[in-house]
Protein backbone atom coordinates (compact mmCIF):
# COMPACT_ATOMS: atom_id res chain seq x y z
CA UNK A 1 0.00 0.00 0.00
CA UNK A 2 1.55 3.27 -1.11
CA UNK A 3 0.91 6.42 0.88
CA UNK A 4 1.96 9.92 -0.11
CA UNK A 5 2.22 12.90 2.19
CA UNK A 6 1.26 16.24 0.72
CA UNK A 7 3.33 19.06 2.10
CA UNK A 8 1.82 22.42 2.82
CA UNK A 9 2.93 25.32 0.66
CA UNK A 10 3.30 28.87 1.89
CA UNK A 11 1.70 31.71 -0.04
CA UNK A 12 1.98 35.40 0.63
CA UNK A 13 -1.24 37.37 0.91
CA UNK A 14 -1.94 41.10 0.58
CA UNK A 15 -4.05 42.79 3.24
CA UNK A 16 -5.28 46.33 3.78
CA UNK A 17 -3.00 48.88 5.34
CA UNK A 18 -3.83 49.80 8.90
CA UNK A 19 -3.58 53.53 8.26
CA UNK A 20 -6.22 53.20 5.54
CA UNK A 21 -8.76 51.53 7.83
CA UNK A 22 -7.96 53.49 10.98
CA UNK A 23 -9.99 56.62 9.97
CA UNK A 24 -12.97 54.40 9.15
CA UNK A 25 -12.80 52.70 12.55
CA UNK A 26 -12.46 56.00 14.38
CA UNK A 27 -15.31 57.49 12.33
CA UNK A 28 -17.61 54.61 13.23
CA UNK A 29 -16.67 54.59 16.91
CA UNK A 30 -17.02 58.36 17.31
CA UNK A 31 -19.77 58.97 14.76
CA UNK A 32 -22.19 56.41 16.15
CA UNK A 33 -22.37 57.88 19.68
CA UNK A 34 -22.34 61.41 18.22
CA UNK A 35 -25.38 60.63 16.06
CA UNK A 36 -27.26 59.10 18.99
CA UNK A 37 -26.44 61.98 21.36
CA UNK A 38 -27.24 64.68 18.80
CA UNK A 39 -30.51 63.06 17.76
CA UNK A 40 -31.50 62.55 21.40
CA UNK A 41 -30.87 66.22 22.24
CA UNK A 42 -32.77 67.42 19.20
CA UNK A 43 -35.70 65.12 19.95
CA UNK A 44 -35.77 66.30 23.55
CA UNK A 45 -35.82 69.94 22.48
CA UNK A 46 -38.65 69.21 20.05
CA UNK A 47 -40.46 67.30 22.82
CA UNK A 48 -40.55 64.20 20.61
CA UNK A 49 -39.47 60.62 21.07
CA UNK A 50 -36.08 59.76 19.49
CA UNK A 51 -36.30 57.83 16.26
CA UNK A 52 -35.65 54.14 16.82
CA UNK A 53 -34.03 53.77 13.41
CA UNK A 54 -31.61 56.62 14.02
CA UNK A 55 -30.63 55.27 17.42
CA UNK A 56 -30.17 51.78 15.98
CA UNK A 57 -28.05 53.19 13.17
CA UNK A 58 -25.83 54.96 15.69
CA UNK A 59 -25.50 51.83 17.82
CA UNK A 60 -24.73 49.76 14.74
CA UNK A 61 -22.00 52.20 13.72
CA UNK A 62 -20.47 51.99 17.20
CA UNK A 63 -20.66 48.20 17.12
CA UNK A 64 -18.99 48.05 13.71
CA UNK A 65 -16.21 50.33 14.89
CA UNK A 66 -15.54 48.13 17.90
CA UNK A 67 -15.82 45.02 15.72
CA UNK A 68 -13.05 46.21 13.37
CA UNK A 69 -10.53 46.77 16.18
CA UNK A 70 -9.30 43.13 16.47
CA UNK A 71 -8.44 43.20 12.76
CA UNK A 72 -5.42 45.45 13.30
CA UNK A 73 -1.94 43.99 13.68
CA UNK A 74 1.68 45.01 13.26
CA UNK A 75 4.68 43.16 11.88
CA UNK A 76 8.32 43.74 12.71
CA UNK A 77 11.13 42.84 10.31
CA UNK A 78 11.77 39.11 10.04
CA UNK A 79 8.30 38.18 11.31
CA UNK A 80 5.30 36.58 9.62
CA UNK A 81 1.56 36.48 10.33
CA UNK A 82 -0.19 33.32 9.27
CA UNK A 83 -3.89 34.01 8.54
CA UNK A 84 -6.63 31.40 8.86
CA UNK A 85 -10.37 31.83 8.40
CA UNK A 86 -12.43 29.15 10.16
CA UNK A 87 -9.59 26.66 9.79
CA UNK A 88 -8.78 27.47 6.16
CA UNK A 89 -5.29 28.75 5.39
CA UNK A 90 -5.50 32.10 3.59
CA UNK A 91 -1.85 33.07 3.39
CA UNK A 92 1.05 34.66 5.24
CA UNK A 93 1.94 38.33 5.60
CA UNK A 94 5.71 38.84 5.72
CA UNK A 95 6.28 42.52 5.03
CA UNK A 96 6.83 44.67 8.11
CA UNK A 97 4.15 47.30 8.75
CA UNK A 98 0.73 48.15 10.20
CA UNK A 99 -2.17 46.17 8.68
CA UNK A 100 -5.84 45.35 8.97
CA UNK A 101 -7.60 42.12 8.07
CA UNK A 102 -10.92 40.42 8.65
CA UNK A 103 -11.46 40.31 12.44
CA UNK A 104 -12.62 36.70 12.09
CA UNK A 105 -9.18 35.70 10.79
CA UNK A 106 -6.86 33.93 13.17
CA UNK A 107 -3.49 35.69 13.12
CA UNK A 108 -0.59 33.48 14.22
CA UNK A 109 2.76 35.21 14.69
CA UNK A 110 5.84 33.25 13.60
CA UNK A 111 9.39 34.53 13.93
CA UNK A 112 11.56 34.24 10.83
CA UNK A 113 14.72 35.27 12.63
CA UNK A 114 17.78 33.08 13.10
CA UNK A 115 17.81 31.00 16.26
CA UNK A 116 20.48 29.08 18.15
CA UNK A 117 19.93 25.55 19.34
CA UNK A 118 22.67 24.60 21.78
CA UNK A 119 22.39 20.86 22.18
CA UNK A 120 23.08 19.05 25.41
CA UNK A 121 26.14 16.85 25.83
CA UNK A 122 25.19 13.40 24.57
CA UNK A 123 26.94 10.16 25.43
CA UNK A 124 27.10 8.04 22.27
CA UNK A 125 29.31 5.40 20.65
CA UNK A 126 31.55 6.29 17.73
CA UNK A 127 32.17 4.13 14.68
CA UNK A 128 34.55 1.88 16.62
CA UNK A 129 32.15 1.51 19.53
CA UNK A 130 34.08 3.80 21.89
CA UNK A 131 31.83 5.83 24.23
CA UNK A 132 32.26 9.56 23.61
CA UNK A 133 30.64 12.81 24.69
CA UNK A 134 29.48 15.13 21.93
CA UNK A 135 27.50 18.38 21.69
CA UNK A 136 26.60 20.65 18.79
CA UNK A 137 25.16 24.10 18.12
CA UNK A 138 22.68 24.60 15.28
CA UNK A 139 21.71 27.94 13.75
CA UNK A 140 18.33 27.77 12.00
CA UNK A 141 15.31 29.81 10.95
CA UNK A 142 11.80 29.21 9.65
CA UNK A 143 11.54 29.66 5.88
CA UNK A 144 8.07 28.23 5.18
CA UNK A 145 5.46 29.25 7.75
CA UNK A 146 2.82 26.90 6.35
CA UNK A 147 4.99 23.80 6.73
CA UNK A 148 6.16 24.87 10.18
CA UNK A 149 2.55 25.33 11.35
CA UNK A 150 0.67 22.51 9.62
CA UNK A 151 3.12 19.69 8.80
CA UNK A 152 4.54 19.22 12.30
CA UNK A 153 2.95 19.55 15.72
CA UNK A 154 5.56 21.82 17.33
CA UNK A 155 8.34 22.90 14.98
CA UNK A 156 10.67 24.07 17.79
CA UNK A 157 10.45 20.72 19.58
CA UNK A 158 10.74 18.97 16.21
CA UNK A 159 14.02 20.78 15.49
CA UNK A 160 15.35 19.85 18.93
CA UNK A 161 14.49 16.15 18.68
CA UNK A 162 15.66 15.73 15.10
CA UNK A 163 18.93 17.53 15.85
CA UNK A 164 19.66 15.13 18.70
CA UNK A 165 18.85 12.17 16.47
CA UNK A 166 21.12 13.51 13.71
CA UNK A 167 24.02 13.96 16.14
CA UNK A 168 23.68 10.40 17.39
CA UNK A 169 23.65 9.06 13.84
CA UNK A 170 26.60 11.25 12.86
CA UNK A 171 28.72 10.04 15.76
CA UNK A 172 28.11 6.43 14.78
CA UNK A 173 29.38 7.11 11.24
CA UNK A 174 32.82 8.45 12.20
CA UNK A 175 35.60 7.39 14.51
CA UNK A 176 36.76 9.75 17.25
CA UNK A 177 40.34 9.83 15.93
CA UNK A 178 42.63 8.02 13.49
CA UNK A 179 43.96 5.43 15.87
CA UNK A 180 45.99 2.86 13.92
CA UNK A 181 44.28 3.72 10.63
CA UNK A 182 45.19 6.59 8.34
CA UNK A 183 43.42 8.52 5.60
CA UNK A 184 39.96 8.54 7.13
CA UNK A 185 37.60 11.32 8.22
CA UNK A 186 37.38 11.53 12.02
CA UNK A 187 35.38 13.62 14.44
CA UNK A 188 38.43 15.19 16.06
CA UNK A 189 40.67 15.64 13.04
CA UNK A 190 38.18 16.79 10.40
CA UNK A 191 35.81 19.24 12.06
CA UNK A 192 34.96 21.05 8.81
CA UNK A 193 33.97 17.88 6.94
CA UNK A 194 31.95 16.63 9.91
CA UNK A 195 30.11 19.97 10.15
CA UNK A 196 29.19 19.80 6.46
CA UNK A 197 27.86 16.27 6.88
CA UNK A 198 25.88 17.29 9.98
CA UNK A 199 24.33 20.26 8.19
CA UNK A 200 23.33 18.10 5.20
CA UNK A 201 21.66 15.52 7.43
CA UNK A 202 19.80 18.19 9.41
CA UNK A 203 18.56 19.84 6.21
CA UNK A 204 17.18 16.51 5.04
CA UNK A 205 15.48 15.77 8.35
CA UNK A 206 14.02 19.27 8.87
CA UNK A 207 12.90 20.01 5.31
CA UNK A 208 9.32 18.90 6.06
CA UNK A 209 9.10 21.46 8.89
CA UNK A 210 9.96 24.38 6.61
CA UNK A 211 13.21 25.00 8.49
CA UNK A 212 16.50 26.09 6.92
CA UNK A 213 19.83 25.22 8.59
CA UNK A 214 22.31 28.09 8.45
CA UNK A 215 25.15 26.49 10.38
CA UNK A 216 25.89 23.37 12.38
CA UNK A 217 29.14 22.64 14.21
CA UNK A 218 30.54 20.64 17.11
CA UNK A 219 31.00 22.50 20.39
CA UNK A 220 32.16 19.64 22.61
CA UNK A 221 33.96 16.41 21.82
CA UNK A 222 35.68 14.12 24.31
CA UNK A 223 36.00 10.50 25.33
CA UNK A 224 33.59 9.35 28.00
CA UNK A 225 35.07 9.47 31.53
CA UNK A 226 35.28 5.68 31.87
CA UNK A 227 37.79 5.37 29.00
CA UNK A 228 39.31 8.86 28.98
CA UNK A 229 42.34 7.80 31.05
CA UNK A 230 43.16 4.80 28.88
CA UNK A 231 42.74 6.77 25.67
CA UNK A 232 44.97 9.56 27.01
CA UNK A 233 47.75 7.05 27.73
CA UNK A 234 47.33 5.62 24.23
CA UNK A 235 47.58 9.08 22.68
CA UNK A 236 50.68 9.84 24.75
CA UNK A 237 52.27 6.58 23.65
CA UNK A 238 51.50 7.32 20.01
CA UNK A 239 53.00 10.79 20.38
CA UNK A 240 56.20 9.37 21.94
CA UNK A 241 56.53 6.75 19.20
CA UNK A 242 56.00 9.35 16.49
CA UNK A 243 58.60 11.65 18.04
CA UNK A 244 61.20 8.89 18.47
CA UNK A 245 60.62 7.74 14.90
CA UNK A 246 61.26 11.26 13.65
CA UNK A 247 64.42 11.52 15.74
CA UNK A 248 65.78 8.19 14.48
CA UNK A 249 65.06 9.09 10.85
CA UNK A 250 66.90 12.38 11.26
CA UNK A 251 69.83 10.75 13.03
CA UNK A 252 70.26 8.09 10.34
CA UNK A 253 70.26 10.73 7.60
CA UNK A 254 72.85 12.79 9.51
CA UNK A 255 75.12 9.76 10.03
CA UNK A 256 74.84 8.84 6.37
CA UNK A 257 75.72 12.40 5.38
CA UNK A 258 78.72 12.44 7.75
CA UNK A 259 80.12 9.20 6.32
CA UNK A 260 79.73 10.46 2.76
CA UNK A 261 81.62 13.68 3.55
CA UNK A 262 84.44 11.82 5.32
CA UNK A 263 84.91 9.41 2.42
CA UNK A 264 84.60 12.17 -0.20
CA UNK A 265 87.24 14.35 1.47
CA UNK A 266 89.59 11.44 2.16
CA UNK A 267 90.09 12.56 5.72
CA UNK A 268 90.22 9.08 7.26
CA UNK A 269 90.18 5.60 5.82
CA UNK A 270 87.58 3.63 7.71
CA UNK A 271 87.12 -0.09 7.51
CA UNK A 272 83.76 -1.73 8.14
CA UNK A 273 84.44 -2.28 11.84
CA UNK A 274 85.34 1.36 12.45
CA UNK A 275 82.37 2.53 10.35
CA UNK A 276 80.08 0.42 12.53
CA UNK A 277 81.60 1.86 15.69
CA UNK A 278 81.27 5.41 14.36
CA UNK A 279 77.67 4.85 13.35
CA UNK A 280 76.88 3.41 16.78
CA UNK A 281 78.50 6.33 18.59
CA UNK A 282 76.78 8.95 16.42
CA UNK A 283 73.38 7.33 16.87
CA UNK A 284 73.87 7.25 20.64
CA UNK A 285 74.76 10.94 20.63
CA UNK A 286 71.94 12.00 18.32
CA UNK A 287 69.16 9.78 19.71
CA UNK A 288 70.00 9.87 23.39
CA UNK A 289 67.70 11.77 25.73
CA UNK A 290 70.66 13.15 27.73
CA UNK A 291 73.85 14.79 26.55
CA UNK A 292 76.64 12.34 25.78
CA UNK A 293 79.95 12.63 27.64
CA UNK A 294 82.72 12.24 25.05
CA UNK A 295 85.91 10.32 25.84
CA UNK A 296 88.91 11.81 24.04
CA UNK A 297 91.55 9.35 22.85
CA UNK A 298 94.84 11.25 22.80
CA UNK A 299 96.98 8.27 21.88
CA UNK A 300 99.74 6.65 23.99
CA UNK A 301 102.93 8.08 25.43
CA UNK A 302 105.16 5.33 24.08
CA UNK A 303 105.17 3.75 20.66
The pLDDT tens digits of the residues spanning 5-50 come to 677 788 888 888 888 889 988 888 888 888 778 877 777 777 777 6
Give me the percent of the chain exceeding a pLDDT of 90: 17
Please name the helix (run of DSSP H) or strand (run of DSSP E) that holds residue 142, with its range, or none. strand 131-142
Report d(CA 50, CA 37) in Å as an integer.
Answer: 10
Q: CB of 210 within 8 A of CB of 155?
A: yes
**pLDDT band per the 50, 70, 90 thresholds, residue 104:** very high
Report d(CA 278, CA 297) in Å as an integer.
Answer: 14
Report d(CA 200, CA 54) in Å as an integer.
Answer: 68
The pLDDT tens digits of the residues spanning 154-168 come to 889 999 999 999 989
* Domain covering 115-223, topology: Tetrahydropterin Synthase; Chain A (3.30.479)
The pLDDT tens digits of the residues spanning 129-153 come to 778 888 889 999 999 999 988 888 8
Report the pLDDT averaged over residues 270-292: 65
What's the pTM? 0.67
Per-residue pLDDT at 46 = 72
Inform me whether the pLDDT recorded for 3 exceeds 50. Answer: no
Which residues neighbour 153 within 8 Å (Cβ) at sequence distance 6 or greater?
none
Domain ranges of the chain: 16-109, 115-223, 228-287
Report d(CA 142, CA 155) in Å as an integer.
Answer: 9
Report d(CA 137, CA 102) in Å as an integer.
Answer: 41
Q: CB of 210 within 8 A of CB of 148?
A: yes
Amino acid sequence: MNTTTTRSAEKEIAVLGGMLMLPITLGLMLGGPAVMITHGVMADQARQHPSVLVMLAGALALFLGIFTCPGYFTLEPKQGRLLLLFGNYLGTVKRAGFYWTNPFNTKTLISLRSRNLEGEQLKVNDKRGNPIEIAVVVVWHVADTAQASFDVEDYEEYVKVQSESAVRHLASCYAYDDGDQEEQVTLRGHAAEVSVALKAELEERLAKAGVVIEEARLTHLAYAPEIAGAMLRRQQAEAVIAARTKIVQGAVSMVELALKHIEANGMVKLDDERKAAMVSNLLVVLCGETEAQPVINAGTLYG
